[in-house]
Each structure stands twice: as structure tokens, then as C-alpha cells.
Homo-oligomer: A and B are copies of this chain.
Amino acid sequence: MKFNEVLKNLSTYEAGKPIELVVREYGIDPKEVVKLASNENPYGTSPKVVAKIETLAKNMYLYPDDSMFELKEALANKFKLESKNVIIGSGSDQILEFCIHAKCKDKSNVLMAKTTFAMYEIYAKQVGANIIKTESSQHNLKEFSDLYKKHGADVIFLCIPNNPLGECLDKDEVYDFLKTIDEDTLVVVDGAYQEYASFKDEKKRICPKDLIEKFPNTVYLGTFSKAYALGGMRVGYGLAKEEIISTFYKIRAPFNITTLSLAAAIEALKDEEFVKDCIEKNFIEMKRYEKYCQDNGFEYIPSYTNFITILLKNFISKTVAQKLLEKGMIVRDLTGYGLNAIRITIGTNEQNTKLFKLLDEVLEELK
């Protein structure tokens, strides 16, 4: 059977390996497996949210309220916007897809950093768009500007802070850049890890309301998968001017999140204390990683997220990640991103202690 031409050149996203796979392939007791590969919140879901879902599990047979009235209201209140400025996605991933499908087709130009969230490129290629990347791995707005002047773009992706590297642009430099962008170019400000960045450094904070009011061609993306500890429930959101949101609604399929996901997200927004507590712990533990790297002479990228990327020199990242996997420790090898590096989610105190111990062992074995 013949399929669309554009599918020929598609690559698929390589997800972090699940615990189930390590159990299956290496016969390790699931209790012994530690996953620091997908930037989940290691402190688990808020107990209040878990309790709510336990009481609502019996409603699984019912379709969700597809208007998502309550969740949109709650997000609108949080960000001092209106419901018409909000759309909910199956993860903020799905909003990326809406952005591409709204603006791009065959031969559209999509601009992004060399090393950034892989789904930007995957979604863009699905409609046959040209991918234009900066030369630098990390976000460099000078290079973005030069490429934009040269090629133009239908969509620009800014990942603030950037996954999988962890660096973060300042709000002011982002605004200076946005002033130079044509109003017909959609600029996606992916704030999946903004809760972390803005906690660490106020200069990094992007206020969605201010952003979309100053720059009506932007869309701000947020997620419940990271700080809000609902990675498994697939809920993200897009915030933008009504004109953009109403267009995205034309692309959205009905019932794009589950009944329990909707309830969990609503409940998670009521427990901001939990989120704050997790973020505080994250940066306390981050310091241990920084010290570990310094003690071992590893170069790392200062991170504004809940993960840290360590650049390796005398070891091959793929081998290190594989050896750790065989010991039940899952981290992300970044070879697929063209880097000899590993990305480690900042875990709990106990998980991180275990990571340091196992990484010591692996490096000793590889010497």
C-alpha cells in the first residue's frame, strides 16, 4: 500500500525507558528500579489528588465534560486570563501539534534551537515543513534572529527553560527578540519547566498574560506533567489570544483528555503548596549533583529545571546509560540528540544517593 510521501522521512520519538521494560529485560525487582529518565516529579502525585481520583475511579465509564469548563476556569483564574484564552491538550505535546497544524504545511519553515524538545521537529516533519535549526545547541537568540531574517518562519519554538539541556533564556531577552518578529509568525513559548526556572531566578519568569497581551502572535504552553506531578495523566494547556485558541479548537478532537485526567488537573491546581514544596526540594538536591560533577571533574549545564545534563568526555554516554540500566537505574542518553551526554532527572534524596553510588561503580568498571 502506498502512504503519504511525507511519512518516509519521519523519525519517532524515543521515550524514556519505562520501569516495566527494565523488569522484563533484566529481571530486576520493580521495587529496585529507579527511573530518572523522564523528568517526572519524584515526590509522586499530591496525596490530595490521589485521594480524589480514588473516589472518582468509578466514573471511568463516563466521557469527560468536553467543555472542560471547570479546568479552564481554574487556569484562567490562576493566570488572570479568560476561559476563551485557554485550550487543554493531551499533554502540552498536543498543543504543539495544534500549532503546527494551524500554521504549517508542505514547505513551511519552522525555526528552533539545535538541541531542544524532539517533538517540535517530529510534528513539523509530519506536515512536510522545513526544519531550520540554530548552529548552537543551546538557545542563542542572535542566531535565531539571523536565521529568521534570512528564511522567515511560520512557527518559532522557544523552550524556556530548554529540555533536554536545562539552560534558560531571560524574560527580557525573549521580549527583545519577540519585538522583531512579524505578527504573522506564531511563536511558541514552551513553559513546561517554567515553575522550576521562575522559582530559581525571577529574571526567567514569563508571565503568560503579559506575554500574550504584548505579543498577540505568541502561545504559552504549560503542563501538569512536571511540577504538578501528573506525567501519566497527559494534561497540558495553551494560553493565547482568542483568535489563536479558537483556531486550535477546530483541530482538537473531542474528549482529548480522560475523565480522571480532567479531575486530577482540577484538583492539582488546588494544592499549590505541594508543588512549591517539590520545587524547593528539587533545587536542594540539584546542588548535590553540581557538587558530584565538580568532585568528579564532569562538565554540566547549569539547570533551571528538574533535570541536569552532564557532558561526558572520557566515557561514552550510551555505554554509561546502558550499564546503569542493567543495574536498575534508568537515565537518558543524549546520543540521539547528537551529544555525548546523559540527562538525569533530579530524584528524591534517596534516589540521588543511589544514582551517585551506581554511577561511581559504572565509571570504575569502564576505566
Q: Footprint of B on A, CB under 8 Å? A: 1-4, 7, 10, 12-13, 15-16, 18-21, 24, 35, 38, 40-41, 43-45, 49-50, 53-54, 57-67, 69-70, 90-91, 93-94, 97, 101-105, 119, 122-123, 126, 183-184, 186, 216-217, 225, 229-234, 243-244, 247, 249-261, 264
Given A1-B216, A20-B69, list of 10 further CB < 8 A pairs?
A1-B186, A3-B103, A7-B102, A16-B63, A18-B64, A45-B61, A50-B57, A62-B231, A93-B255, A122-B253
Interchain nearest-CB distance for A306 vs B (Å): 12
What is the bound-complex CA distance between A225 and B254, given in angstroms? 14
Interchain nearest-CB distance for A193 vs B (Å): 15
Asked if B232 contacts A259 (CB within 8 A), the reply is yes
Asked if B50 contacts A58 (CB within 8 A), the reply is yes
Interchain nearest-CB distance for A70 vs B (Å): 7
Interchain nearest-CB distance for A73 vs B (Å): 11
Asked if B62 contacts A232 (CB within 8 A), the reply is yes
Interchain nearest-CB distance for A85 vs B (Å): 15
Asked if B230 contacts A61 (CB within 8 A), the reply is yes
Q: B residues within 8 A CB of A231? A: 60-63, 259
Q: B residues within 8 A CB of A65? A: 18-21
